[in-house]
């Protein structure tokens, strides 16, 4: 993630997606970035000085109620890009901050 964008990440991952923020170990906290965790889910975002967002590589999350999640994202002003479904899965993409 870009340096100095931690609060935007917290607003998205915790505020919009509802994934609680997790404390970073003290020896890693000085590096910046932010962690989110719920159950077996772990999203650890580190800072990169020359950060460029990946377009092809991406995490995929499974939601219990995809239409509710889509409404929450759109209500927060986040663009939702619908993609063709895979067998057994409807899909859409969003960009995090």
CA 41: distance to chain centroid?
Answer: 11
Radius of gyration of the chain (CA): 14
CB half-sphere exposure, 15, CA atoms < 13 A: 13
CB half-sphere exposure, 91, CA atoms < 13 A: 11
pLDDT at 57: 80
Query: Domains plus CATH for the chain?
Result: 6-93 (3.10.180.10)
pLDDT at 55: 78
- Phi–psi pair at 34, nearest 5 degrees: -155, 145
The DSSP symbol for 12 reads I
- pLDDT digits over 33-58, tens only? 999 999 999 999 999 988 888 878 88
The pTM (predicted TM-score) of the whole model is 0.89
């Amino acid at each position: 993630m870009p340096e100095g964008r931690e609060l935007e990440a917290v607003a998205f991952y915790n505020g919009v997606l509802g994934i609680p923020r997790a404390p970073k170990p003290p020896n890693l906290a000085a590096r910046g970035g932010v962690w989110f965790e719920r159950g077996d889910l772990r999203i650890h975002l580190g800072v990169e000085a020359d950060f460029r967002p990946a377009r092809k590589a991406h995490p995929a999350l499974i939601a219990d109620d995809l239409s509710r999640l889509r409404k929450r994202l759109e209500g927060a002003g986040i663009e939702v890009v619908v993609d063709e479904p895979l067998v057994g899965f409807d899909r859409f993409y969003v960009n995090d901050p």
